[in-house]
Amino acid sequence: MIHPNVLRAGGYDPEVVRGFAFGMGTDRLALLRYGLADLRLFYDNDLRFLGQFPF
Amino acid sequence: MRIPLSWLAEFVTWSGPAAALAERLTMAGLKIEAIEEVGQLDRRIVAGRLAAVEPHPEADRVLVCRVQVGRPAALVAVSGAPGLAAGQLVPVALPGARLPDGREAQAVRIRGVESAGVLCSEAELALGEDASRVLVLPDDAAPGTPLAALPGIADTVLEAEVTPNRGDWLSILGVAREVAAVTGARLRHPRPRPRESGAAAAREVRVRVQAADLCPRYCARVVRGVGIVPAPLWVRLRLRRAGMRALNAVVDATNYVMLERGQPLHAFDLERLVERRIVVRRGAAGERLTTLDGVDRVLEPDDLVIADGRGPVALAGVMGGEASEVTSATRVVLLESAFFAPASVRRTSRRLALPSQAAYRFERRVDPAMVPEALDAVAALIARTAGGRVAPGIVEDAPGTKALAPPTIRLRPRRVVALLGTRLARGEIARSLRALGATCRTQRDALVVTPPSFRGDLRLEEDLIEEVARVGGYDRVPVALPEVPLAAGEDTPERRLAARVRRALVAAGLAEMVTIAFTDAETNRRLPGFVGRALVPLAVKNPLSSETGELRRSPLAGLVRALRLNLALGATFVGAFELGKGYGLDAHGARQEPRAVALLLAGAWPPRGVERSGPPVDFLDLKGVLGGLFAALGLDGERVRWRPAGEIDALHPGKAALVELGGATLGVAGALHPAITQSADLPGEVWVAELDFAELAHYVPRRLALRPLPRFPAVTRDLAVVVDEAFRAGDILEEIRALQNPHIELVRLFDCYRGAPVPAGKKSLAYTIAYRAPDRTLTDEEVNALHAAVLQRLAGRFALEFRS
């Protein structure tokens, strides 16, 4: 839930407005999806890795 | 934070498996990262009573011991260790026992005497650091008992990751509170008081706080006649399991109580404090202090110091001074327990690069109520383990206690519902808060809550609500999806275009890459690319490394880096593209992030069949890939012009082209400048291109314009010319197209020949022209006339030598 101080700093009255925020690293989700362990695989751009994705 | 469960058990009872406790704590927010079993000694390492100790007949300084190990006959063990005496209970490793370092105890003959057991030091048993003497055990075990069965030896240690907002978890007591709150178990909170004797402590020392904002409360006790001896085994073991080293009973006691109750403590040699007084004040500029680690430090007015009559004796909350530290000569100890402002301790600790367990806790705010309690506990422990008489009374100066009082917070149950989305009875809310140590009373429809002194993180109604949810368990809050009206969306034209670009380039055999947006200053200077060529590079304020010190102006920076990596891994073909951005400041100082299609080709094409390798990549391949891309996007390839680029940064001056369409420049294509390929250790040529994505988008037709199929056949004629080597074959194509003759359907270069009979320095170009009319078949005469007009136009324009 967004902290009331942050809402106020954004010009909102916390009594009137509430907010929630979340973040998921898409690269971390991709790690889970493809069963990988090292995030750097996505940024090294090793063609032997990239070439395994047919789409 | 390392939590030995045997220590935790003194404050709260948990009878389940350690893993289950770890799970409960993790779900409550105290993440347990590891569970370690310690002290799992081989059961053939037992307690042995030294019945008799005699010098070895054949060897100096070696003793022959008769050891009772619970068997009818005493065992004989030979040892060279100092300090052995009859009556001691010591660890004996029987033959076959495996020691923690992997060695196996064996029966050996030492100068003629058979030794049937090894008397072990604490280091050999991984119970401590001392390898110089045999460990003497507490007296109360039966000989023959495996060491692992003795209290405190075998233990389970939880390794916890404590978040910065929960300084109260940095102690055994703090974790015990959490266990009690979350499991409903009862917390035991003993508050040991030392037995006092002799003259009052106030007669020994005076305390004065001059910086009340940085030190609202300072307490001290005095202990006379201490012995600087090792602490008992159980203290040393707990310190070790909690990750601290044992030094002597006095210092160990301060660390023990800090770990147990969360309040850092310091011990001074009172007799080395000038004028026997303590002043807590800010440092004066230029003051110096040699800290315990022997380093001489210059202080600043921002540093909070503990000073005596002469000058600074300690950095408050961070580290004590060398001159007043407890040594083997210390007889009278001054014990300090205080609340130091978190920000001040953090500032000094960072500035002097002095992290310490004490600073760590002060930075996260200690419990003001624990200040005197910890002092009593450490005084009692010192009296017990180091001897000494505790002087009556706590000497205190607490000018800022009012500021330390916890806030009173009004908690409205409807706010609980609003934030958590689930209705909770007021009684349940109060129960959760009381379990955390807060006091609650009802006031009309709300609760008035005072958080406990050890929870400095609870200040707002929302903080309390979070605690109610946390203690109840986040996993028990019901799940509901928000109901929001949605409209169906669709991709923007840019995303659709990007998808088409990707498909076309992948179809051409390239791999899409995503490279990081940062690069080093040198690369950024050399590789401006196309879209960012006029931009001023943006430097990062706190780069992770010099290699990522600037935002790249061109995605080529990333592609070249990826090229190097792939070549180093043995790739023979590298074909890659990136739809990425270049970054920088424009002429007005505004930030720009133009989007580019960047691509790179290097090496030789992969083999297409029974061959070792395909042909090496060259400029025509690059042109072909781009031509294929344009075709896939529906751009009229005939309208795309390729012009020699002249001087373009980063590209080879003789092998670079501007790609133009309709008068605008779409981008550049060519070979990387040899200066770049050499400095990056790249073998061979590297072909790159960068197109302005926005410009491309501008020219991509929105609709297909289909042409009707021709109804009448075409007639083709060839022409061949011999020209100088430097002549541009495209000029002829353009000139013929410039005729804009509707009957000229197609012009194509189909041959470029060098060698006999063409003279050296010249080349032969051959073109085919297709003539077609939409409404009739052109006659030979008509075609000849058209062709002659073309030749005439060309002859008039260029110095050509026609071949038949």
Instruction: Answer for the pair B695, B630: CB distance below 8 angstroms, yes or no.
Output: no
pLDDT at B76: 92
pLDDT at B389: 96
Percent of chain B surpassing pLDDT 70 = 100
Whether A40 contacts chain B with CB within 8 A: no
- Residue-wise pLDDT for B600-619, tens only, equals 999 999 999 999 999 999 99
Chain-centroid distance, C-alpha B411: 37
Q: How far apart are CA B17 and CA B162, in angstroms?
A: 21
The minimum CA-CA distance between A50 and chain B, rounded to whole Å, is 7
Query: Which of A1, A43, A47 lies nearest to residue B511, judging by beta carbons?
Result: A47
Q: What is the mean pLDDT of residues B45-63?
A: 90
Name the residue in chain A with its Cα closest to that of B565.
Answer: A46
Query: Which of A4, A42, A44 lies nearest to residue B460, judging by beta carbons?
Result: A4
Closest to B602 in 3D by CA, of B652, B567, B629: B567
Q: What is the mean pLDDT of residues B784-791?
A: 92
Q: Do B571 and A50 touch (CB under 8 A)?
A: no
Distances (CA, A) of A29 to A38, A45, B579: 12, 18, 22
pLDDT tier, B473 (very low <50, low <70, confident <90, very high otherwise): confident
Q: Do A50 and B515 touch (CB under 8 A)?
A: no
- Contacts (Cβ under 8 Å, ≥6 apart) of B615: B604, B605
Whether A27 contacts chain B with CB within 8 A: no
Q: What secondary structure letter does DSSP report for B214?
A: T
3-class state of residue B196 by DSSP: strand
Angle at B579 between CA B575 and CA B582, to 5 degrees: 115
Q: How far apart are CA B346 and CA B364, in angstroms?
A: 9
Query: Which of A18, A43, A47 lies nearest to residue B574, judging by beta carbons?
Result: A47
Kindly report the average pLDDT of chain B as a whole number. Answer: 93
3-class state of residue B545 by DSSP: coil
Distances (CA, A) of A7 to A18, B88, B466: 8, 68, 17
The minimum CA-CA distance between B415 and chain A, rounded to whole Å, is 9
Chain A interface, mutation test: which of B411, B458, B503, B569, most A Cβ atoms within 10 Å?
Answer: B569
- Residue-wise pLDDT for B122-171, tens only, equals 999 999 988 999 999 988 889 999 999 998 899 999 999 999 999 999 99
pLDDT tier, B272 (very low <50, low <70, confident <90, very high otherwise): very high
The minimum CA-CA distance between B567 and chain A, rounded to whole Å, is 10
Q: What is the mean pLDDT of residues B71-84?
A: 90
Q: What secondary structure letter does DSSP report for B452?
A: -
- Indicate whether B41 pLDDT > 70: yes
Whether A36 contacts chain B with CB within 8 A: no
Instruction: Answer for the pair B547, B520: CB distance below 8 angstroms, yes or no.
Output: yes
Q: What is the mean pLDDT of residues B313-322?
A: 95
Q: What is the mean pLDDT of residues A2-16?
A: 95
The minimum CA-CA distance between A45 and chain B, rounded to whole Å, is 6
Peptide bond between residue B543 and the one before it cis (omega within 30 degrees of 0): no
- Indicate whether B387 pLDDT > 80: yes
B175: its two tokens:
């974790």
Higher-pLDDT residue of B769, B799: B769
The minimum CA-CA distance between A51 and chain B, rounded to whole Å, is 7
pLDDT at B310: 93
pLDDT at B637: 78
Q: How far apart are CA B250 and CA B333, in angstroms?
A: 8
Distances (CA, A) of B329 to B228, B236, B254, B332: 8, 21, 18, 9
- Indicate whether B647 pLDDT > 80: no
Whether B560 contacts chain A with CB within 8 A: no
Q: Do B566 and A47 touch (CB under 8 A)?
A: yes
pLDDT at B58: 83
- Indicate whether B241 pLDDT > 90: yes
pLDDT tier, B804 (very low <50, low <70, confident <90, very high otherwise): low
pLDDT at B497: 95
Whether A47 contacts chain B with CB within 8 A: yes
How many interface pairs between A and B have CB atoms less than 8 angstroms apart? 37
Closest to B600 in 3D by CA, of B649, B563, B648: B563
The minimum CA-CA distance between A19 and chain B, rounded to whole Å, is 9
Higher-pLDDT residue of B705, B666: B666
- Indicate whether B799 pLDDT > 90: no
- Indicate whether B394 pLDDT > 80: yes
Q: How far apart are CA B386 and CA A33, in angstroms?
A: 59
- Residue-wise pLDDT for B486-543, tens only, equals 888 899 999 999 999 999 999 999 999 999 999 999 999 999 999 999 999 999 998 9
Burial class (CB in 10 A: 0-12, 13-18, 19+), B729: middle
Whether A33 contacts chain B with CB within 8 A: no
Q: How far apart are CA B240 and CA B255, in angstroms?
A: 11
- Indicate whether B403 pLDDT > 90: no
Q: Residues of A with CB below 8 A from B566's CB?
A: 45-47
Whether B516 contacts chain A with CB within 8 A: yes
Burial class (CB in 10 A: 0-12, 13-18, 19+), B35: middle
Q: Do B516 and A43 touch (CB under 8 A)?
A: yes
Distances (CA, A) of B81 to B106, B133, B136, B143, B229: 17, 5, 12, 20, 19
**Is the complex ipTM more than 0.85?**
no
pLDDT at B124: 93
The H or E element that residue A4 is part of is helix A4-9
Q: Residues of A with CB below 8 A from B576's CB?
A: 45, 47
Beta bridge partners of B691: B597, B667
Query: b/e per residue, B105-120, with b = 16+ CB within 10 A?
Result: beeeebeebebbbbbb
Q: Do B562 and A45 touch (CB under 8 A)?
A: yes
